[in-house]
Structure 1
Amino acid sequence: MDIFTTGYYKPNRILLTAMGLWPYFPNYLNLLIRITSALILYSLYVPQ
């Protein structure tokens, strides 16, 4: 049983994975998530 998929760790794991900061996630996916989130944030600045 993996303690990170149940209980109190599950919301943390989901949020950190979405930001690309979860340590047990492949490095190439972390980089892809960080680049994608940066592009989304920078695209919000264009209309302003």
Structure 2
Amino acid sequence: MEQYYILRRHYLPRGDDSLDDIAAALWLDNRYWENMSVAVANGIGTAFKGS
């Protein structure tokens, strides 16, 4: 449970520890990692393709 609070504090520093804010922080974290995986895949594609 502490990991959820840490994520909430990272993404919503002025929020409270309500379920809504924790859920929003989890959604933001998942969204971040989805975007990061797309960026890495695009970078790998560019590296192999050449520019």
- TM-score in terms of structure 1 length: 0.50
- Considering fraction of residues, name the structure with more helix: 2
